[in-house]
Amino acid sequence: MKHALSQNTITPLILVVEDSKVVQVKLKRSIQAEFGFQVVSVATYEEAREFLNWHVRDIFLAILDLHLPDSHDGEIVDLFCSMAIPSIVFTSDFTEGTRERMQSKDIIDYVVKDVHAVSNIISYIRRLDRNRGKKVLVVEDSEIFRLYLASLLHRQMFQVEDFPDGESAAQYIENNDDVALVIIDYALPGMDGIELTQFIRARYSKEELVVIGLSSVSDPMLTARYIKNGANDFITKPFELETFFSRVNHHVDVQESIRALKEANEVKNQFLGMAVHDLRSPINGIHGLTQMMLDGMCGDLTEEQLEMIGFISEANDQMNSLVGDLLDISVIESGQLNLNKTLTNLSGTIEQRLRIQALIAKKKSIEFKMESTEVQDFYFDAGRVGQVLDNLISNAIKFSPSQSIIEISASEEDGNALVCVTDHGKGIPPDETELLFQSFSKTSVQPTAGESSTGLGLPIVQKIIQAHGGKVWAESEYGHGATFCFTLPLSEQI
């Protein structure tokens, strides 16, 4: 897939100034294959100067070999810097002296010529592509240092806005939702850096807006204060340029990766939802046909035929259950879980679900023991909470031995309704508890009568309870059963 770096309709032009024909060809092919840009190659200082006479305004980016046949001491870099052309320097001379010289120039960066040089150049162009669409705020009271930071970020092709105090930056953030990163000095007039960080975190998560603290104050606790108050990172002044660029670009890389994962997850949920809806129709058709045959509507059947149709019906029911779980997961993860809260009695909801589950428990001679103190009526989605209870109770039945007791309790505790379901099966191995609420994950413990499980029930439970503002957890001593509990806030309204 080609990346369209320029925001204009004109195809961007990259000028490669390199005396090695091999490197010229590799760069040209790689850049055109990745981005579809125009790439022009010249081999000498004079050829570059002649090209600039006619095309200086057309160049989006220049890639400059530091040592050319007619530019032994890096004059080519000075030429392009004098014309304010964004440039990446290509050099095989990686000495401290060369490094210091390059850092003193107004270039984007320098790249060392090695076996990875071409791929590193491509990665850098891709980064500049991304940065052009990123807005960065610099909040620094020193005008000289503020302009210096802004110039560094401009080199990386970020859109930069700068502010001398926290209040003006806060007002800008309040009125603009397109900021990707904020660099905040600590010692600001009025609202200091920590307070501005707190202001930002009250509105945006770390993934949505990156905050990097900055200070020359020699306080070892300042880094911790920034991080504890929501900053993604902290940089001490003065800093090395490579460190600054690396830290800034790393956090923007992470931000982009998270955004890409969220977008991919949304596509997955859309596909899953469509696939599940399409599966419902044939599943219902199979259910109807098998039920007709089992009811004798298609004529007499032998015992063997009835048994086989029964197997088909059972497998179809399991598939229908899986499809239902997948539909719930797709709805929940797409953020479309809408709760229908009504003023309801929790104990009555529990008793209703127990009556339904009693038919399944009876097959294993399992009894229910309900212990309930008085819980005031409060607002919750009875259907969704019933789904939670069905999952927890049916799981308890699956993992309980025959002729055992499952205990269900309901009470009020610290402003919450607390519900617990306890079985007396094997429990959960200590090193597998983290698998319980992960989609499609199962522990090594097997149901006592070979019942099936999709590995989706508990993740659905967790999402429903969290949507209500509650919590869900498990307690277990391996070999002695397990208890699953959840809370629902009694103060929750519609």
Q: Is residue 253 part of a domain?
A: no
pLDDT of residue 455: 63
Looking at the structure, tell me whether residues 22 and 115 fall in a common domain.
yes
pLDDT digits 0-9 by tens, 419-440: 999 999 999 988 888 888 887 6
Q: Are strands 482-489 and 416-423 parallel, antiparallel or unpaired?
A: antiparallel
Rounded CA gap, 158 and 181, in Å?
A: 10
Which sign, positive or negative, has the C-alpha torsion 246, 252, 255, 257? negative
Looking at the structure, tell me whether residues 356 and 484 fall in a common domain.
yes
| Residue pair 19/42 in contact by the 8 Å Cβ criterion | no
pLDDT digits 0-9 by tens, 358-415: 888 998 999 999 988 889 999 999 988 998 998 899 999 999 999 999 999 999 999 9
Where would I find the beta strands (DSSP E) of 140-284? 159-163, 179-185, 210-215, 233-236
Which residue type occupies 90? F
Averaged pLDDT for residues 71-81:
90
Q: Is residue 6 part of a domain?
A: no
pLDDT of residue 150: 94
Looking at the structure, tell me whether residues 100 and 34 fall in a common domain.
yes
Looking at the structure, tell me whether residues 363 and 461 fall in a common domain.
yes
Residue at token pair 């020359």: 216
Q: Is residue 398 part of a domain?
A: yes
Contacts of 276 (CB under 8 A, 6+ apart): 323, 326, 327, 330
Looking at the structure, tell me whether residues 173 and 293 fall in a common domain.
no
Looking at the structure, tell me whether residues 150 and 205 fall in a common domain.
yes
Q: Is residue 246 part of a domain?
A: no
Domain end: 108, 129, 150, which one? 129
Q: Is residue 458 part of a domain?
A: yes
How many structural domains are present in the chain?
4
pLDDT of residue 445: 83
Confidence of residue 213 (pLDDT cuts 50, 70, 90): very high
Looking at the structure, tell me whether residues 359 and 481 fall in a common domain.
yes
pLDDT digits 0-9 by tens, 280-303: 778 878 888 888 888 888 888 888
Among residues 405, 384, 397, the alpha carbon closest in space to that of 469 is found at 384
Looking at the structure, tell me whether residues 215 and 110 fall in a common domain.
no
Question: Does residue 4 carry a pLDDT above 60?
Answer: no
pLDDT of residue 493: 58
Averaged pLDDT for residues 257-284:
76
Among residues 337, 316, 312, the alpha carbon closest in space to that of 327 is found at 337
Averaged pLDDT for residues 157-161:
94
Among residues 477, 346, 353, 474, the alpha carbon closest in space to that of 424 is found at 477
- Give CA angle at 329 (325, 333), nearest 5°: 175
Tell me which of 78-82, 108-112, 171-175 is least confident. Answer: 108-112
pLDDT of residue 494: 55
Taking CA atoms, 137 is separated from 21, 127, 158, 213, 378, in Å, by: 42, 18, 10, 12, 46
* CATH number (domain holding residue 451): 3.30.565.10
Looking at the structure, tell me whether residues 319 and 444 fall in a common domain.
no
The mean of the pLDDT values for the chain is 87
| Residue pair 109/77 in contact by the 8 Å Cβ criterion | no
Among residues 361, 330, 355, the alpha carbon closest in space to that of 460 is found at 330
- Give CA angle at 143 (229, 77), nearest 5°: 105
* CATH number (domain holding residue 74): 3.40.50.2300
Rounded CA gap, 169 and 163, in Å?
A: 6
Question: Does residue 94 carry a pLDDT above 80?
Answer: no
Two tokens, residue 22: 């091999």
Averaged pLDDT for residues 174-189:
94
Domain end: 205, 239, 273, which one? 239
pLDDT of residue 276: 66
Residue at token pair 């990686």: 94
Q: What percent of the chain has pLDDT over 90?
A: 48
Q: What percent of the chain has pLDDT over 70?
A: 93
Q: Is residue 417 part of a domain?
A: yes
Among residues 441, 460, 438, the alpha carbon closest in space to that of 387 is found at 460
Confidence of residue 9 (pLDDT cuts 50, 70, 90): very low
Range of the domain at 385: 342-489
pLDDT of residue 334: 66
pLDDT digits 0-9 by tens, 31-48: 998 888 899 999 999 999
- At residue 291, φ and ψ (nearest 5 deg) are -65, -35
Let me know if 87 is exposed, middle or buried by CB neighbors in 10 A (0-12, 13-18, 19+). buried
Confidence of residue 335 (pLDDT cuts 50, 70, 90): low
Rounded CA gap, 340 and 336, in Å?
A: 12
Among residues 290, 199, 183, the alpha carbon closest in space to that of 237 is found at 183
Averaged pLDDT for residues 485-490:
95
pLDDT of residue 300: 85
pLDDT of residue 139: 96
Question: Does residue 145 carry a pLDDT above 80?
Answer: yes
Looking at the structure, tell me whether residues 118 and 178 fall in a common domain.
no
Confidence of residue 220 (pLDDT cuts 50, 70, 90): confident
Q: Is residue 444 part of a domain?
A: yes
Question: Does residue 5 carry a pLDDT above 80?
Answer: no
* Secondary structure of 21-42 in HEC code, one letter for each residue: HHHHHHHHHHHHHHHCCEEEEE
Q: Is residue 388 part of a domain?
A: yes
Question: Does residue 212 carry a pLDDT above 90?
Answer: yes
Confidence of residue 454 (pLDDT cuts 50, 70, 90): low
Looking at the structure, tell me whether residues 176 and 70 fall in a common domain.
no
Which residue type occupies 384? R
Two tokens, residue 72: 């032994």
Exposure class string for 149-184: b at 16+ Cβ within 10 A, else e: bbebbbbbbbbbbbbbbbbebbebbeeeeebbbbbb
Looking at the structure, tell me whether residues 85 and 152 fall in a common domain.
no
Domain end: 313, 333, 353, which one? 333
Residue at token pair 């209703």: 352
Among residues 349, 346, 350, the alpha carbon closest in space to that of 377 is found at 346
Averaged pLDDT for residues 91-108:
83
Question: Does residue 208 carry a pLDDT above 60?
Answer: yes
